[in-house]
Amino acid sequence: MSIASPLRWLVVGTAAAFVPLLSFSAPANSDWPTYGHDPGGMRHSPLTQITPANVSTLQPAWTYHMRPANADAAAPSAADTAQRAAEGVGPPRRRASRFSASQATPLVVGGVMYLSTPYRKVVALQPETGKELWSYDVPGPGQPSLRGVEYWPGDAKAAARVVFGTRDGRLIALDAASGKPAAGFGAQGIIDLKTQDLVEGDAALKVSAQYGLTSPPIVWRDLVITGSATQEYPQRGAYGDVRAWDIHTGALRWSFHTVPRPGEPGHDTWQGDSWQNRSGVNVWGFMTVDAARGMVYLPVAAPAWDRYGGDRVGANLYGTSIVALDARTGRHLWHFQVVHHDIWDFDTQAPPLLFDWKGKGGSVPAVAIVSKSGMLFMLDRRNGKPLIPIEERAVAASDVPGEQAWPTQPMPVRPAPFARTTFSMTDVATVTPELEQYCRNWISSLDMRMGGPFLPVGWHKPTINFPGRLGGANWGGASYNPALGLLFVNSSDFGHVEQLGQREDGSFTTADPSTGRFQERDKRWPCQQPPWGSLTAIDVHKGQIVWRSNLGVTDNLPAALQDTGRPNIGGSISTASGLIFVAATDDARLRAFDARSGQSLWTWKLEASAHATPITYQGRDGRQYVAIVATGGSFLDSPIDSDALTVFALP
C-alpha cells in the first residue's frame, strides 16, 4: 500500500489542539477493509509472513484498552434485554464488572485501524502501535453497533467515510480522516432509521417497537445497506425491512420488504393478517455483496415469536431465508428458504459466503450458507439453484395446540451436518460419572422427548433439541481458503430443553425454570458426549468434510478430560500461508490451526473470552499482525473481564 503522507497535522484556532488528517489510497490486499475482508465475505487474507512453521512464536505486540478511565460499564440495552427474555436466556450470569461486552471486529484501511467500542465511542488507531489518532463520542444513549463499523473509500464527491449503526436505531457517517461527522450526511452526520413505515396503523407500536443495529451495514458503490435488530417477542412490532441509503446525503434510495405486503410475491405464505406488523424477519447479522454483478445477499432471521407459529400459519417468507437483491434498486432476484415456518430460532445470520465452485461443467459463482441448523447449503449465486442436491425430507409434527409445523425441511445430500442435529439416550455424556448421573436423572425426572432433526418444541413433554438456540453455526459464519477449496466453520453442539406453556392471556411461553440449556448448570458441562464445540473443514467442491477438530477446552475438568471442545460465538479467518485463526470459545483462548490438517499449532490465553472474529493485516513497518477483541459476554454468558483489543505479531 502507498500513503502519500502518513500523517498531516492541522492547527485548530490558536489553541494547541491538533486534529489528524490522514491521506488514503485504495484498500490494499494487506488491509482488512470490511468485516469479511472482501465484500463476498471469504475472510481470507493473502498474507504469508506468519506460517504454520513460525506461528508458535506469536506474541502480543500491543494492547488497546477501550474503556475510558472515567467510564462506567454500560447497562444492557433494552433490545439486548428483550432478546434475552424472548429466548428464555434470562439476565446475564455475570458478577459485577467495570467492563462492558464487545463482539467488534476492527477494520484496517490505508494505514489506519477503525474500531467501535462498548463505551459509546468509535476510534481510529495506528495499527502498528495502538496509538489513538481520533475518537468520536456517539451522542445520546445508543451504543455503536456491537460488531463493528463499515468503511467507504470515497469518490469524486466526498472523501472516505466510516459508517455504523447504533442500537437505538441511528445511522452515523464520519469523515475517515478526522472522525468528525460527515458533511452533508443527514443532520450532523446522523440519520434516524426509525421511520414511520416500519409500523403500520398502530400508534402504540410505533412507540414500543424495538429497532436498532447490532452489526455493521455494508457498502456498495454509493449506497449504505442496512439491516436491523428487532424484537423477538412480542410478535407484533417493527418490520425488519432492508434499506439502502445514499452515502453522500443519507437519503433513502430503496427499501425491501422482508415480510411481503399484499400483492407482493410471497405474501400468500402468511395466512390472514399474520403478516401485518410482524417483527423478526430481519437481518441482524451480516450481508455480503457480489460487487461485479451488483447483487446483495441477505441472511434473514426467523419471524417473531420464533418458538410458536400458530398465529402465522404458512411457510412465512422471507423468514430464515437467503434473499438475493439487485443492489441498485432493491429488487428481489431470488430466495432460498433454509427453514420453512421456523419455530426453532434457526436464524440465517452468518454472512453468505461468495466463492467460485468447481463442478463438472466448469467454475460457477456460488454462495455458501451456514446456519444454526448445522447444515451447509451451496447455491449458484446468480439464480439460487442448488449446486449439490437439496432434499425436502419429512420431519416430526407438532403436538402444540394450533401449531402447524411444516411437514418437510430442506437438507443437503452432502456434506453431512457439521453440528449435532439429533439426540438419544445413547448420546448421554459419560465424561464423568457425576455428569452422567446428573443428566440421566434430569432427563428421567421430566420424561424428556428426544429425536431430531427439526423436532418441534413439545407441549406435553419437554423437548431436547439439537442444535439449540445458539446453533450450530451462529453469526460468526465461515471462512474460506480458495487455493485449498476448504471452508472452515466453527460450531457448537449445545442443546436446549424447552416446553411450551400458556399464559393467562392465551399466549405461549417457554418459561419453565426446570428446562433451559442442556448442561449441568453450575459446572456448565453439556449433557451429551463431546465434542461440545468443533472447527470443521469442508471441501466445497466435493461436498465432503475433510477434518474436524475439537475447539476449546473445559478448564474445570481433570486435565486428561479437558479436550472436549466448547460452545462458541464468533468467527474464524484464513490466510494464504495455510493458517486459520479463531477465538470464539468460552475458554478465553485465541488459537491457530493448520488449514490442511486441522492440527492445533498455537494457543494464547486471553484475559477474557473473545466472542468476536479476528483480523490479520500488514503494517507500514512490514510486519503481519493478528488482532482480536476479547471482553467476554455474549449469550454464552462468559465473564466480562476485560476491555482489551490485543494485537499479536512475530517477535
| Cβ(38)–Cβ(29) below 8 Å | no
Predicted local confidence at residue 71, as pLDDT: 73
Q: How far apart are alpha carbons 199 and 398 in whole angstroms?
A: 31
Q: Give the Cβ contact number of residue 588 at 10 Å.
A: 22
Distances 453 to 401, 420, 424, 485 between C-alpha atoms, Å: 21, 9, 11, 28
pLDDT higher than 90, residue 23: no
Backbone angles phi, psi at 465, to 5 degrees: -120, 135
- For residue 460, being part of any structural domain is answered with yes
Predicted local confidence at residue 78, as pLDDT: 53
Q: How far apart are alpha carbons 122 and 190 in whole angstroms?
A: 14
Q: Is 312 exposed, middle or buried (0-12, 13-18, 19+ CB in 10 A)?
A: buried
pLDDT higher than 80, residue 213: yes
Q: How many residues does the chain have?
A: 651
Strand partners, 18: 11
pLDDT band, residue 207 (cuts 50/70/90): confident
**pLDDT tens per residue across span 425-479:** 999 999 999 999 999 999 999 999 999 999 999 998 999 999 998 999 999 999 9
Domain harbouring 172, CATH code: 2.140.10.10
Q: How far apart are alpha carbons 59 and 79 in whole angstroms?
A: 37
pTM score = 0.93
Region 344-359: what's the mean pLDDT?
Answer: 96
pLDDT band, residue 15 (cuts 50/70/90): very low
Predicted local confidence at residue 185, as pLDDT: 98
pLDDT higher than 90, residue 48: yes
Region 178-186: what's the mean pLDDT?
Answer: 98
Predicted local confidence at residue 11, as pLDDT: 29
pLDDT band, residue 142 (cuts 50/70/90): confident
What is the DSSP-derived secondary structure letter of residue 85?
H
Amino acid at 132: E
Long-range pairs, 439-445, Cβ under 8 A, ≥24: 439/520, 439/527, 442/527, 443/527
Predicted local confidence at residue 4, as pLDDT: 34
Domain that holds residue 376: 8-649
Q: Give 122's contacts (C-beta < 8 A, 6+ positions apart).
A: 114, 115, 116, 135, 136, 138, 144, 149, 162, 164, 174, 179
- Supply 499's cell numbers: 416446553
Q: Is 622 exposed, middle or buried (0-12, 13-18, 19+ CB in 10 A)?
A: exposed
Region 207-220: what's the mean pLDDT?
Answer: 95
Q: How far apart are alpha carbons 604 and 140 in whole angstroms?
A: 37
- For residue 323, being part of any structural domain is answered with yes
- Mean pLDDT (the chain) is 92
32: left (phi over 0), alpha (psi -120 to 50) or beta: beta
Q: How far apart are alpha carbons 358 and 540 in whole angstroms?
A: 9
- For residue 324, being part of any structural domain is answered with yes
Q: Which of 41-45, 204-208, 463-467 has the lowest mean pLDDT?
A: 204-208
The C-alpha torsion from 316 through 233 and 634 to 34, rounded to 10°, is 50
**pLDDT tens per residue across span 352-395:** 999 999 988 899 999 999 989 999 999 999 999 999 999 999 99
The rounded percent of the chain whose pLDDT value lies above 90 is: 85
Distances 408 to 189, 191, 341, 413, 450 between C-alpha atoms, Å: 48, 43, 10, 15, 18
Q: How far apart are alpha carbons 540 and 531 in whole angstroms?
A: 23
Q: Give 404's contacts (C-beta < 8 A, 6+ positions apart).
A: 309, 310, 313, 341, 398
| Cβ(495)–Cβ(466) below 8 Å | yes
Matching residue, cell 486534529: 19
- For residue 3, being part of any structural domain is answered with no
Q: Which of 169, 233, 160, 162 is nearest to 198 (CA)?
A: 169
Predicted local confidence at residue 74, as pLDDT: 53
Q: Is 55 exposed, middle or buried (0-12, 13-18, 19+ CB in 10 A)?
A: buried
What is the count of structural domains for the chain?
1
| Cβ(213)–Cβ(165) below 8 Å | yes
Q: Give 437's contacts (C-beta < 8 A, 6+ positions apart).
A: none
pLDDT higher than 90, residue 332: yes
pLDDT higher than 70, residue 19: no
Region 48-61: what's the mean pLDDT?
Answer: 98
pLDDT higher than 90, residue 86: no
Q: Which of 42, 493, 78, 79 is nearest to 284 (CA)?
A: 79
pLDDT higher than 50, residue 566: yes
- For residue 331, being part of any structural domain is answered with yes
pLDDT band, residue 72 (cuts 50/70/90): low
Q: How far apart are alpha carbons 198 and 242 in whole angstroms?
A: 11
Q: Which of 622, 617, 618, 641 is nearest to 631 (CA)?
A: 641
Q: Give 211's contacts (C-beta < 8 A, 6+ positions apart).
A: 79, 169, 193, 194, 198, 228, 229, 230, 238
| Cβ(220)–Cβ(296) below 8 Å | yes
pLDDT higher than 80, residue 85: no
Q: Give the Cβ contact number of residue 609 at 10 Å.
A: 32
Question: 60 or 505: whose pLDDT is higher?
Answer: 60
**pLDDT tens per residue across span 522-561:** 999 999 999 999 999 999 999 999 999 999 999 999 999 9
